[in-house]
Amino acid sequence: MPRLSRGPVLLLLVALPWLSHADDAPLFVPQWLGAQYTFVDQHQSRVRSPYSGPLSLDPRGSTARSHTFGAYFGIQLPVHLQFYLDVEMFKGEGVSQGTGLGGLSNGDIIRSGVASLGKGPYVARSYLRWTLPLGGQTTHLDRQQDQLPGEQADRRIEVKAGLMAVNDDFDKNRYANATRTQFMNWSLWNNTAWDFASDTRGYTDGVMIAWVMPRWSLRYGIYRMPDEANGQRLIESLGESSGQQLELTLQPHPDGWALRLLGFYNKGNMGIYQQAITIAEYTGQTPDIHADDAPGRHKFGVGINGELPVADNGDTGFFMRAGWNDGHTESFIFTEVDRLLSGGFQLSGAHWNRSDDRLGVGVAIDGLSRIHSEYLAMGGDGFLLGDGALRYGPEQIAEVYYSIAVIHHLTLSPDLQFIRNPGYNRDRGPARFAGLRAHVEF
């Protein structure tokens, strides 16, 4: 599936003088839907480290800053079609070069510290969205990122095709979904056991089909996979390599509890941990999962995701996630987690007369399959983990943040994280992280 990048960029440049900011969406007129800038300054403490490898947390501690910029556009087309174009830019890096953890501490670093990506602007999303109304009842939508203003049918068929982020449509959660405004640790804003298809920055080409009803929805997506672990180049043929997911969402009331059941199946050029170990034992060398990569390998997993509003018009509530993947084939795309259990709550600042402020507290436990941990214990490296050895223990994460609404468009969020057994290694840590996040959104 070809990327829709060069043509839409040219179209946008031609149309810039006529960009509309109206509350409706006239046909063919490009709409500016929003822009954002996020700055994160994060410090990692010194880490007890009797030994270390090429992908370990820096035992001396680390301080890093990251910057993300984004501008978002949409065009209303005939016959219920819409087109969206997002342009982003990333600068900076994560602490310890964004390695050494399953649940990385800064969700905005997009693994750039691992893959040495360029620092210039890039097209993040470029896709068409088509809806088929199935009834007359509608809900009004306000202008926001990747959402044109107007009326949307409550019963509909929805199709998206093009360049997008898989987690825009799957594994969403009201209280733990946005690293730029909520939790920053990867294992709290996403299901890290879900190895969803994407390039290094987190985007891929694909198709998503949804059947949406007032009390439930069913979504299916198929997307292009990278050609190597944490790779930027995507494989062209979906028959050769693809990431597929199916998710059922149950939500009897629009502002009430929600439960999401997710399953995924990946096919790609992945290695198998047991084979890498067997080869290493035969040759007397360190196991190398990357040398075992071969086409047609499979990985599958499941996830559950829940949210429960309890007060303050839903601004106070609880969340939880659990995830599992087979753990036999290589952790390939998102991060190196085979098991996940996470949960926590968000509390509205209305209780201390700061109704736009938010306090978030979350905990997560990441785990590896037996064969994955054995591979690391023998000195093998993944794309985020590699201490040279391993005395396995689940990675235990706690995070607390406080989001301060300084003015209407600006929030500041002090953030603290504590991680026991970083990189699943009982010989290392604990690690502590202190950060400050500034987020501007229009």
Tens digit of each residue's pLDDT (9 = 90 or more) over 50-75: 999 999 999 999 999 999 999 999 99
Q: What is the mean pLDDT of residues 368-388?
A: 96
Average pLDDT over the chain reads: 92
Count the alpha carbons within 13 Å of 344 in the hemisphere toward its beta carbon: 26
| pLDDT at site 117 | 75
Q: What is the mean pLDDT of residues 108-135?
A: 83
| pLDDT at site 116 | 63
CB 193 within 8 A of CB 324: yes
Q: What is the mean pLDDT of residues 1-18?
A: 40
Neighbours of 295 (CB within 10 A): 12
Residue 112, pLDDT > 70, answer no
| pLDDT at site 23 | 52
Residue 155, pLDDT > 70, answer yes
How far apart, in whole angstroms, are the C-alpha atoms of residue 340 and residue 264? 15
Q: What is the mean pLDDT of residues 386-390?
A: 95
| pLDDT at site 111 | 58
Q: Which residue has the tokens 């040279």?
A: 388
| pLDDT at site 25 | 75
Regarding predicted confidence, which is higher, 1 or 279?
Answer: 279
Q: What is the mean pLDDT of residues 109-113?
A: 60
Place 11 in a pLDDT band, splitting at 50, 70 and 90. very low
Residue 1, pLDDT > 90, answer no
Share of the chain above pLDDT 70, in %: 93
Residue 17, pLDDT > 50, answer no
Q: What is the mean pLDDT of residues 33-54?
A: 96
| pLDDT at site 301 | 98
| pLDDT at site 103 | 97
Q: Which amino acid does the sequence have at 417?
A: Q
Residue 350, pLDDT > 70, answer yes
Q: What is the pLDDT of residues 431-440, one digit of tens each?
A: 999 999 999 9
| pLDDT at site 292 | 86
Q: What is the pLDDT of residues 179-228, one digit of tens each?
A: 999 999 999 999 999 999 999 999 999 999 999 999 999 999 999 999 99
Q: What is the mean pLDDT of residues 123-141?
A: 95
SS3 labels along the chain = CCCCCHHHHHHHHHHHHHCECCCCCCECCCEEEEEEEEEEEEEECCCCCCCCCCCCCCCCCEEEEEEEEEEEEEEEECCCEEEEEEEEEEEECCHHHHCCCCCCCCCCCCCHHHHCCCCCCEEEEEEEEEEEECCCCEEEECCECCECCEEEECCEEEEEEEEECHHHCCCCCCCCCCCCCCCCCHHHHCCCCCCCCCCCCCCEEEEEEEEECCCEEEEEEEECCECCCCCCCECCCCCCCEEEEEEEEECCCCCCCEEEEEEEEEEEEECEHHHHHHHHHHHCCCCCHHHHCEEEEEEEEEEEEEEEEEEHHHCEEEEEEEEEECCCECCCCCCCCCEEEEEEEEEEHHHHCCCCCEEEEEEEEEECCHHHHHHHHCCCCCCCCCCCCCCECCEEEEEEEEEEEEECCEEEEEEEEEEECHHHECCCCCEEEEEEEEEEEC
Residue 118, pLDDT > 90, answer no
| Helices 273-283 and 370-377, axial angle in degrees (round to 10) | 30
CB 134 within 8 A of CB 16: no
Neighbours of 135 (CB within 10 A): 11
Place 24 in a pLDDT band, splitting at 50, 70 and 90. low
Q: What is the pLDDT of residues 291-331, one digit of tens each?
A: 888 899 999 999 999 999 999 999 999 999 999 999 999 99
| pLDDT at site 178 | 94
| pLDDT at site 119 | 80
CB 220 within 8 A of CB 265: no
